[in-house]
Homo-oligomer: A and B are copies of this chain.
């Protein structure tokens, strides 16, 4: 189940085999581009953005050319509305920029070409859209039950206390993830790689007992582990 899934994309190439400095390699190149577009689209649907939006991004990235709405519509065979929405969303995410060609009133769009900059923009958005709200939710839920003034009849097996402990553990995990991500976002160059190669395989780990539950305070930093696929 790869590219064979959406035949209309995979082969939508035909007429689009446009001019290349050397006309020669054109067809295979375009086919490879389409394959990439399809693959990236799949990936997109796995990480929660619409398949089309990911495809539009893939197209802009892999060709490197600024394109206007019509170019995208034609190449991807999608409707004007869809193309417009997807482009706008990509601009919102900060991985595609508007660009104007002089003497042409149309708006063109070009994808960020540096993959690390792109990755940072994506992580930034995910912090904002996923991590932050999750954290807010966890706090709110935790506060639905009072820690219960009296430390429970018998100290053992207090369900509410355990419930709080579990939420706190999750809060702790989430905060760490948030900080690590923020650090990556504010890094320069290929931040993650530098960080990763620094840590010998040995450095990881530490006991880690009592989770920190308190809302703020400077702490961890590192790579977005498996965070943002």
Contacts and interface: CB of A to CB of B under 8 A. Distances in A.
A145 B26 CA distance: 10
Contact of A219 (B137, B193, B198): B193
Interface in A102-158: 113-116, 119, 122-124, 126-127, 129-131, 134, 137-138, 140-142, 144-145, 148, 152-153, 157-158
Contact of A28 (B1, B126, B145): B145
B206 A189 contact: yes
A169 to B, nearest CB: 5
Size category, A interface: 35 or more
A223 interface: yes
Contacts of A20: 159
A187 interface: yes
A197 B145 CA distance: 31
Interface in A148-176: 148, 152-153, 157-160, 162-163, 166-167, 169-170, 172-173, 176
Contacts of A62: 163, 166-167
Interface string A198-228: 1101011111100110000001111111101
A220 B144 CA distance: 43
Given A115-B169, A145-B32, A226-B126, A193 B181 contact: no
Nearest to A225: B184
A13 interface: no
14 contacts: A36-B167, A46-B130, A47-B47, A64-B162, A115-B169, A131-B229, A176-B190, A183-B204, A186-B201, A192-B220, A193-B206, A197-B220, A198-B203, A198-B222
Interface of A: 1-2, 20-22, 25, 28-29, 31-33, 35-36, 39, 43, 45-48, 61-62, 64, 113-116, 119, 122-124, 126-127, 129-131, 134, 137-138, 140-142, 144-145, 148, 152-153, 157-160, 162-163, 166-167, 169-170, 172-173, 176-177, 179-181, 183-199, 201, 203-208, 211-212, 219-226, 228-229
